[in-house]
Chain A
Amino acid sequence: DQQVKQNSPSLSVQEGRISILNCDYTNSMFDYFLWYKKYPAEGPTFLISISSIKDKNEDGRFTVFLNKSAKHLSLHIVPSQPGDSAVYFCAANNAGNMLTFGGGTRLMVKP
């Protein structure tokens, strides 16, 4: 039973446009959500996070939105750049250091 799901395995966008990556979760105990970016042959790197007491968090070109009633979060990247091409994982946490990850979305930004 996957508690965190990323239903789009891949996404292709044009450079300069907006990339929207989506993530759904089922466990209402999750209260902290994160996005990680992963390049091939490297470990995931932390991108941005959001607490359940907020509905939006912004960091430069990256914004994460949280809709608790829908148990849905999304990552917006504006504008998208070719260097953003990577696999993006959303993750959820309710305590400690254990993260529950989604299956990942491969983003391809075309020049």
Chain B
Amino acid sequence: KAGVTQTPRYLIKTRGQQVTLSCSPISGHRSVSWYQQTPGQGLQFLFEYFSETQRNKGNFPGRFSGRQFSNSRSEMNVSTLELGDSALYLCASSLDWARGYGYTFGSGTRLTVV
């Protein structure tokens, strides 16, 4: 089966701009979670969407937002980019309450803010 697809793989943006990242989950998976990975910080939870509704939210500023479409594809948006937003953004999909066991991660989008 096809895995989790994240696009684009790499992105370079300028401070102050906004960016939209896309995640297509495994077919049939209705939960999509987003994580930010920075050196030394591990992966930090951004938010989770299930059936087009945000189900959980991490401790990130309002500049980070997301949405999910009826086909379970998800997008996350970062507005007014800051240098510190440079990171690898990962999404993970699962059927429902997977508790991490049933997570499948995508390969991520590497965002560089200059």
Contacts and interface: CB of A to CB of B under 8 A. Distances in A.
Q: Do most interface residues of chain A lie in helix, strand or loop, or is the interface mixed?
A: loop
B105 A44 contact: yes
Interface in A37-70: 41-46, 49
A101 B42 contact: yes
Range of interface residues on chain B?
20 to 34
B45 interface: yes
A68 B104 CA distance: 27
A43 B40 contact: no
B8 interface: no
Interface string A1-30: 000101001000000000000000000000
B43 A99 contact: yes
Nearest to A89: B42
Contacts of A102: 42
Interface residues of A, number: 25
A103 B98 CA distance: 22
B4 A100 contact: no
Given A43-B90, A43-B106, A89-B42, A99 B100 contact: yes
A10 B54 CA distance: 36
A43 B42 contact: no
Contacts of B40: 9, 103
Interface string A73-111: 000000000000000010101011111111110000000
B63 interface: no
A67 to B, nearest CB: 20
Interface string B77-100: 000000000000010101001111
Nearest 5 A/B pairs, CB to CB: A43-B105, A101-B42, A101-B43, A103-B42, A99-B100
